[in-house]
Amino acid sequence: MLSVDKVVNDKLPQIKGKPWLEKPTTWFLRNLLHEEDIQEFGKSAPSLEGIDFVEHALDYFNFTYAYSSQELDNIPVSGRLVIIANHPIGSLDGLALLKLVSEIRSDVKIVANEWLSVLEPLNSLLLPINVFAGKPSRKDIRNIHSHLHDEGCVILFPAGEVSRLRPNGVRDTHWQSGFLKIAKATQSDILPIRLDAHNSAWFYTASMVYKPLATMLLVKEMFRQQRKQVKCHIGQRIPTEAFLQQGLSVNQQVKLFKKHLYRLGTQKKSIFPTQTAIARPESRQPLKAAIEACELLGETPCGKKIYLYEFNGSSPILREIGRLREVAFRTVGEGTWRKRDLDEYDTWYMHLILWDPDDLEIAGAYRLGDCKKIIEAHGQNGLYSDGFYEFSDAMKEIFPQSLELGRSFVQPRYWGKRSLDYLWVGIGALLRKHPNYRYLFGSVSISNALPKDAQAALVKFYSSHFPPQTPMARANIPYRLNTDSTVPDFTGNNYADEFVLLKSYMANIGSAIPTLYKQYSELCEPGGVQFLEFGVDPDFNHSIDGLVLVDTTKLSAKKRKRYLETR
């Protein structure tokens, strides 16, 4: 806990051995910093550290914070994040903000004056900087960057000091640009939070007379905050793309961020475009119980389980699937930008789930629709794809033997771990159980985040090598190839050679072939896979959808052995 002797020894070594200076300085600091009171507080919580210590401190001062439960959802549960806030009190408001954010993010740390390191129980939560050195050291910045690169959450007060009384109320003084440079360097989203509180009139009077005097009074002001409250207005997340390429100077952007923050909790429009936060994860035990009640289709060599879920009322399964869809699709520049990616079709489609029983996580999922049953119950417009394509009679004839696939995702933490292949093992198990499903079809997305030439190359390649054998579908919003595009002229004659050309072309423009396109195109012998049409989905961030049709009687020997043979 706080020791003035240690502060003098560590921070003011130049006065050691000079009694005429050391004694009055020490006496002054003991009173200014309420050493006895703080040590008494420390004795009441001798072994508490981190957030436990913060919670105890807030209880000790009977200092509370208020927020909207709806706004709390604006704090993303994971991913690198820079939180910026004003600093109206200069003391307990920082602790309150730490406690608030920790309710969602256990990885939160706060950038603060290195003098706070003397409060040892706080050290695990601090990213200390020397505010008196003019600018943070390279080591300080590296520590902040490192925490963000580890997908952590960092709180910064851009003013670097307590707010002052201004003509328009209690407001921060000049904001430093450090927070923005850190966010840009680490490609971290920014979340603004406005804190509504104030110090005493005496503090603001002292500040107008002599600003450093007010700063020295902050500890006394902290003790005056007993039984008071700070209100927290939590804004929506500002994505990196909103400020990385804006064409403004750093100082201009900083001023806009400050203006944006002070509009929170008012009726004024936001300055920056924002994103709706993704819903928080479902509680693990109810989710586990609900999934284990589903039909078990199989188990993978690594211990994951494959279940088939059918909607039967409110369930944590569907809510978690909707949340994870949004997580996965936003990661690749798609998504609905809602809290959960769910629609009415989810209630009458089946859901194939890859479940990790060790981490209690849905690793991935596929939405599957028995076309015959859906059309009987809801008509043809009960098919998801019917809203995007006009089907020919030839397509309608195969609906009774068809399974519509779509909305597939793999949670980002399971990328590169054969999760998509395991989902197809589950599809194979379902096909073995229901041999009447001869055809599989559905939309496969090309992200609008890809360069336009990459999109064109993919459409041109797959249209050339897997064309429809007969017209079966027409997109409501067709994708139009740009005739001026510089993409290779794929002939559709030699798949292996032109696939190498496609990979090379995509790599040269910083892109890659979407996994699902490779998955579908490698399923069958020639003629077994067709890309019937390419259209644009305006409700899915203007992604391009390729409508694929698979005839399972033409699966390659390798894929048949992998997915359809009894195991």
Residue 113, burial from CB neighbour count under 10 angstroms (0-12, 13-18, 19+): middle
Position 308 scores a pLDDT of: 98
Give the pLDDT score at 320.
98
Residues 404, 245: Cα–Cα separation, whole Å? 40
The predicted structure's pLDDT at residue 167: 86
- Where exactly does CATH 3.40.1130.10 map onto the chain? 47-262
Q: Which CATH class is domain 47-262?
A: alpha beta
pLDDT tens track for 253-270: 999 999 999 999 999 999
Residue 222 pLDDT? 87
- Asked if CATH classification 3.40.50.11540 holds for the domain at 284-563, the reply, yes or no, is no
Task: Tell me the average pLDDT of the chain.
Answer: 91
pLDDT value at position 134?
Answer: 63
Question: Which segments of the chain have a pLDDT < 70?
Answer: 1-2, 4-5, 7-8, 10-11, 27-28, 31-35, 37-38, 118, 131-134, 213, 483-484, 566-567
- Of the candidates 179, 193, 222, the one whose C-alpha atom is nearest the C-alpha of residue 74 is 193
pLDDT at 131: 64
Where does CATH 3.40.630.30 sit in the chain? 284-563
> Which pLDDT score, from 0 to 100, does residue 121 have?
86
pTM of the model: 0.78
Distance set, CA 294 to CA 217, 305, 406 (Å): 62, 11, 20
Q: Quick count: other Cβ atoms within 10 Å of Cβ 467?
A: 11
Q: What is the pLDDT of residues 130-172, one digit of tens each?
A: 765 667 889 999 999 999 999 999 999 999 999 999 888 999 9
CB-count exposure of residue 30 (10 Å: 0-12, 13-18, 19+): middle
Structure tokens that stand for 421 in this block: 């292949």
pLDDT at 376: 98
Cα three-residue angle 503-506-512, rounded to 5 degrees: 80
Distance CA 283, CA 90 (A): 36
pLDDT at 247: 81
Q: Which of 103, 109, 98, 101 is nearest to 151 (CA)?
A: 109
